[in-house]
Structure 1
Amino acid sequence: MMDPELAAASVLMERPNIEDQHSARALALSLRETSSSAEEETLGRVEFEDRDIPCSDGNESIVVRIYRPTDTTQLRPAVVFFHGGAFVLGDLESEHPRCLRYAAEAGCVVISINYRLAPEHPFPSGVEDCYSGLLWVVEHANELNIDTSRVALAGSSAGGALAAATALIARDRNGPVVALQMLLYPVLDDRMQSTSMSTFADTPVWDSRNNRAMWRQYLSGTANVTSYAAPARELTLEGLPSTYIMTAELDPLRDEAISYALRLLQAGVSVELHQIAGAYHGFDQLVADAAISRRALDDQVHHLKRFLRT
């Protein structure tokens, strides 16, 4: 059964058509939660600024937004955050309320990465931008007042895929040590053969039809799909950081995330899995002040504080 507050909000939501990225991007702007109380509740507790950093290919730049708690100058843990949007939508504003709350309530420096989007920039542009963002954060740790032993990767939806893939790249390339990966209703498997994927063909916000269109655009021109594109394809999960995964009951992506959590556990990775009953994909972003969304966010903050020792 769908949560009543989410059900009431879903009546007013139009499902995007990822096949038409122009109209989908316009719709995504209109679907942003305009009544989130994050700005008011974090006022004076967080400062933020935008900064240009080099793209992974060195030919362009991308923007990152840096959120800093204002109450102390001590070294802070960092959360490198990747927004969702099916690899084709979204920007720094998409998860601005969540990043504000992470900084204010978990006491972290949050760096949100505005990676390049498909179909203009298909795989691997986005994930390489995300890894470059992680490298930039670690290289500028002194300036950002960051403790490099307490760096987390976090992302929602497609951003969850990018966080998981960035953790794999960091492990495989002997890159920065990542203390935690936080994957919120993540996209993980391009094969789309789970029960939830076949069951939820007409759910609010996201459905299996759009999921197929998303992968076509993101993987355009990719001959062999690797785990850096679809992390569920990775055969060896040993050596990955402690993991927090949140899934939503009425989400086509639910089962692939649960399966990934179980495989991580079997590989010896510490995992905390939270399955939110009555929720659909993106619920805590799109209906941020619903009681169920606030509980989910409180739990994320608690986990950041616990595992990053803030």
Structure 2
Amino acid sequence: MDSLHLVDLTLRPLLEMMPQISLTADILPAMRDRPSMLPPADETLATLEIHTVPGPAGAPDIDLHVFRPAGVTGALPCIYHIHGGGYVMGKVSDYDPLLRPLVADLECVVVSVEYRLAPETNFPGPIEDCYAGLVWTITHADRLGIDPARLGVMGQSAGGGYAAALALMVRDRGEHALAFQHLIYPMLDDRSCTAPPHPYAGEFVWTAQSNRFGWTALLGHAPGGDAVSPYAAPARATDLGNLPPAYIATGALDLFVEEDIDYATRLIRSGVPVELHVYPGGYHAFDIFADGPVSQQARRDSHEALRRALA
């Protein structure tokens, strides 16, 4: 497979700076400890409070990072954010440089959950962490200064998968409601590990081998088999009706492009309003680490969709 000729010209220089690595258990500790590629956050844009709150029954407490625009008062709309990292990496602080400008631009609160990682914690532990944090956020809306009627969920990559799963879980448990789901190249379907390979997707950043490692770590067994819960792999859900409006964005060269398009199509067929973007020449995480026109457009589209959803 060689999809380099399809990569947007402005995104190619970044590939020369990024080592092509496929995850294994041996290199996972080093990948978790690697320094961020993002510039430091501008801490003046938003305040940060970290709340340690009860986790799922019988599980450890979890940390919620609550970002609020500096100098803005009153009850604000809220994005409940779930970070990415293939289910096995990442932490909220990695996303500070992305979340603080978002909070300031949209004048909203962002609550980002520090869920447990696989393989140390298999499904359902991480998604139950996300649900417990969401419930605490909603029930403490007054304390946090948020409007629970304007609260939706957002995530990138594995975080997008968890965000979609959380939307399903919130619908099915019937205790609360979400205003929207904002899914950025979401990791939705473990069966992609056993499907025939896409001839041009998944060559860069997040590969098929890394994908298999991430899904195996989360599930605790090989992906693609029977009886995988839709709260682990949302694409497994047979009923997508009565879910909140969805925004789904991906790159045309992202490993997840087909599962993301398929999920958007199924949501539409289930009567869920969907805004779908597929960016030509974009590989996984192109919008975060590169700054060419296609990356800028993806960020603008995402921010404007969030602005509309929060309103």
Pairing partner for 1:248 from 242, 246, 251: 251
DSSP-derived class of the 2:62 partner = strand
Measure, in 1, the Cα distance between the counterparts of 2:194 and 2:303. 30
TM-score (norm 1): 0.91
Output the CA distance in 2 between the equivalents of 1:193 and 1:50: 36
SS, match of residue 281 in structure 2: coil
The 1:29–1:83 alpha-carbon spacing in structure 2 relative to 1, beyond 3 Å, is same
Q: Is residue 47 from structure 1 mapped to residue 50 from structure 2 by the alignment?
A: no
What are the within-5 Å matches in structure 2 for residues 214-225 of structure 1?
214-220=214-220, 224-225=227-228
Superposition pairs for residues 207-286 of structure 1, below 5 Å?
207-220=207-220, 224-286=227-289
CA distance in 2, matches of 1:11, 1:48: 35
Residue number in structure 1 paired with 2:3: none
Compared with structure 1, are the counterparts of its residues 31 and 199 closer, same or farther at alpha carbon in structure 2 (3 Å cutoff)? farther
User: What does 1:4-83 correspond to in 2, within 5 Å?
Assistant: 4-20=9-25, 23-27=27-31, 29-30=33-34, 32-35=36-39, 39-40=41-42, 43-83=43-83
- How far apart in 1 are the matches of 2:180 and 2:257? 21
Name the % identity: 37
SS at match of 1:11: helix
In structure 2, what is the Cα distance between the partners aligned to 1:298 and 1:266? 27
Gaps of 5+ in 1: none
Residues 47-82 of structure 1, C-alpha deviations (whole Å, 9 max, x = no match): 112221222134312222110012321211110100
Secondary structure of the residue that 1:73 maps to in structure 2?
Answer: coil
Q: What residue in structure 2 maps to residue 164 of structure 1?
A: 164
Q: Deviations over 1:215-267 (max 9, x none)?
A: 11110059731100100010111100000000111111111000000100010
Distance in 2 separating the partners of 1:116 and 1:294: 31
Deviations 1:255-304 (A, max 9, x none): 100000010001000000011111110122233x4443232122211111
Contact 1:103 1:110 in 2 (8 A): yes
Q: Structure 1 CA distance, aligned partners of 2:234 and 2:96?
A: 25
Matching residue's letter, 1:308: L
Q: Which amino acid aligns with 2:239?
A: T
The residue aligned with 1:292 is: 294
Contact conserved, 2:160 with 2:186, CA < 8 A, in 1? yes
Structure 1 position 13, deviation (Å) = 1.0
Match of 1:3 in 2: 8
* RMSD after superposition: 2.1
